[in-house]
Amino acid sequence: MTTIATIHKHLHSTVPFEYGKRDCCTWVADCVLELTGKDFIAEYRGTYKTEYGAMKVLARHGGMVQLLSKIYGKAIRVEAARPGDIVVIDLINGAERIGLTCGLCTGDRAVFLTAQVGFVSFPVLHCIAAWRAT
């Protein structure tokens, strides 16, 4: 299955958003696992079940960008991201700041899973950081 087909398969899953099982980080990691065969977040699975728990994990590692760097290695330039690479964006929904959210590059766009609105897509150049998925 191609990278884009794998991402689309996960986009169309009927599994609802749930912290620790299907949130932005676990959704990304599940796609990367299917693409690479490696579970980059194995040590974090099952360690939180709520938004508060997710925030505690992030805080212990200095935030989203620092944790993703620990998991996926050195960040790359956002302009160099290719389909399947991990990206982070600072999301705002109207007047509400959702905050840093990880997603996947699909080419010139990236997709993100949020608790507030489900899946959203933005130009990849709006992202603030990126990592190779392999």
- Please write the tens of the pLDDT for every residue from 24-73: 999 999 999 999 999 999 999 999 999 999 999 999 999 999 999 999 99
Q: Give percent helix, percent strand, percent coil of the chain, each to the nearest 5.
A: 35, 25, 40
Q: Please check whether residue 19 is in contact with residue 51, taking contact to mean a CB–CB distance below 8 angstroms.
A: yes
Taking the C-alpha atoms of residue 119 and residue 80, their distance in angstroms, rounded to an integer, is 23
Which domains are assigned to the chain?
3-131 (3.90.1720)
pLDDT score of 105: 97
Query: With 80 as the cut, is the pLDDT of residue 1 above it?
Result: no
Query: With 90 as the cut, is the pLDDT of residue 83 above it?
Result: yes
Write out the H or E segment, with its range, that includes residue 111.
Answer: strand 109-114
pLDDT score of 34: 93
pLDDT score of 97: 85
